[in-house]
Chain A
């Protein structure tokens, strides 16, 4: 049986394939920080978005 994580990645692929790497990274950041440190998670996400844009993410 597919785990919920695998399903999420599949749904990212279906919904927005160009955003999949960024969304996966966002999920990793959220899993890493959990609910304990929202500020750090937001900062990491912002960095990830800036980084993705600098790599030429199609908008």
Chain B
């Protein structure tokens, strides 16, 4: 399929008659660019709409807004899209028309006409295709089911890296269609159905042997249907479980961080409670420690000094008032020195000596020295208790600091993550465990049923062979026997070919997707892509680990693009690639690589890019491939198309 020309009139933002001639041949790239909202998506929709009528991601109004303003039922607005394309030597002109007007209540009524197709044969003669065959004809050229792999919006394209059973099924279906494996499957099914009908034809109502065999076959077939429906029901339930598990995984992942905070918050609250509980105990211990320590520190000094002074006073060697002063000084100094060692010559000792010298008569000097030694001894003995007191003090200080830090952490965590969320997290985890258990049971049951099914199918095969032999023995049934033999061989071969093909294609699809992905991302994050037999995509990072989550939007887009482009390569479909916003989420580096790569992946390429995407890097890579360039300008509510100079 080669796109040649697109014409639009009164279609969305294209009010005036606008046409685009697509590039093909050596310079096969048509580039359309403009600012956001300039009309790229409308053009993309026009292309899809004219071919298929239905639009996948848009169900709004198609007629131009301005043209509808004055439209009435008697004087309606009309619009159209016409596409000319070439396929296998035939030129096709397809068109659709729109008619619309405003109703009394202001709402718009819009109707579309049937598709029209004019076919120009290679000999130059024209034919108008009958209306009921046009869609079939288009579907043979580019089936509607696979159009999304050729005409796609890269920004909104299916995320092929996201897990999910429904998505998996959709991908498997699409790949089967693109790679035509579905034709093998349908062929197999149809031949099986034909053979079944043939076996049941009432050729042999008077033949007891054949009738008995047909009875057996019918019985087994009924059982096969029963087991198949059981398997299907179990598989459906298992799929539902898996979908729910994936949902839970996603939900848990989304609240994991908050739940972790909630758990931390609870731990912090517990810690704070504990600290608050410990604090009065520590204070009591400190108070007791102080009471225990102080008399030991001060008591002997005071008692010693008192005893000495009392002795002197009784001998009238020292006046009572001097004793009081001395006592006071001693207490003050003892308080001062109780935290440090009393070393000879230290400031405390010198100070105490000075006090004693000033207060005591010379004869008392020796006694005073004894007192100093006694004080030193007391100090040594009290160190241990003092250390305890200091430890209590430090513990209290630590407790208070931790309380402050804990309170700060709690304030930072906030209140919104409390309680319910954690309960939800736990409940989801419980549900997931239960679902996994149930899924594992169902999968086991499916396995057992599968064995039973294979056994039934083998028995069926045997009886069918016996029936064929019975037919073959009778002259009048020979044709049936021959037909059945060919049908059985055909269906067996189609089944074998399908299995072999799926394996081959899964490998090659993985290799091709890896090649394309690495060309887009170069020294990027991914190492390889693997495709399983059901065509489900698996990505591996550079450490060889499977990537299941946490990849950026750009990486997701690159991986999805690689998968789609690999599939179109393997499908061998001769169709153009029309990509809307191909570079939307890609990094500058990936944009450059993608530009280098993309034009080689199709015989015809149409890119609809924003001016932002069409930067110097992209321009440099695409320049030599541009056959046509159009600039989209949005002026006074409508799009004007200007031919660019790069083509």
Contact = CB atoms under 8 A, between A and B. Distances in A.
Interface of A: 1-8, 11-12, 15-16, 19, 22-23, 26-27, 29-32, 34-36, 38, 41-42, 45-46, 49-50, 52-53, 57, 59
Interface residues of B, number: 38
Contacts of B191: 26, 45
Contacts of B186: 30, 35, 38, 41
B184 interface: yes
Contacts of A59: 482, 485-486, 489
22 contacts: A3-B571, A4-B181, A4-B501, A8-B180, A11-B497, A11-B500, A19-B489, A19-B490, A19-B493, A22-B486, A30-B183, A30-B186, A32-B140, A34-B136, A34-B140, A35-B186, A36-B136, A45-B187, A45-B190, A46-B194, A50-B483, A53-B483
Interface in B510-530: 512
Interface in B470-510: 479, 482-483, 485-487, 489-490, 493-494, 496-497, 500-501, 504-505, 508
Given A11-B501, A53-B483, A5 B490 contact: no
Contacts of A31: 140, 180, 183
Nearest to A22: B490
Contacts of A19: 486, 489-490, 493
Contacts of B136: 34, 36
Nearest to B198: A46
B114 interface: no
Interface string B156-190: 00000000000000000000000111111011001
A17 B181 CA distance: 20
A4 B570 CA distance: 6
A45 B109 CA distance: 45
Interface in B557-579: 569-572
Contacts of A45: 187, 190-191, 194
Given A1-B569, A4-B505, A50-B483, A12 B183 contact: no
A41 B193 CA distance: 12
A8 B497 contact: yes
B497 A15 contact: yes
Interface in B307-332: none
A8 B505 CA distance: 11
- The residue among B493, B500, B508 with the most chain A CB atoms within 10 A of its own CB is B493
A26 B490 contact: yes
Contact of B187 (A3, A16, A27, A57): A27
Contacts of A42: 190, 193-194
A24 to B, nearest CB: 10
B572 A3 contact: yes
Given A3-B572, A8-B180, A45-B191, 5 more contacts: A5-B572, A11-B500, A11-B501, A12-B497, A53-B486
B112 interface: no
Contact of B490 (A2, A7, A23): A23
Contacts of B93: none
B182 A6 contact: no
B139 interface: yes
Given A4-B501, A15-B493, A53 B140 contact: no
Contacts of B572: 2-6
B143 interface: yes
B489 A16 contact: yes
B486 A4 contact: no
A27 B184 contact: yes
A27 B482 CA distance: 21
Given A4-B570, A57-B486, A38 B504 contact: no
A12 to B, nearest CB: 6
B187 A35 contact: no
A16 B486 CA distance: 11
A16 B539 CA distance: 37
Given A36-B136, A59-B485, A7 B194 contact: no
Given A15-B493, A16-B493, A52-B486, A30 B190 contact: yes
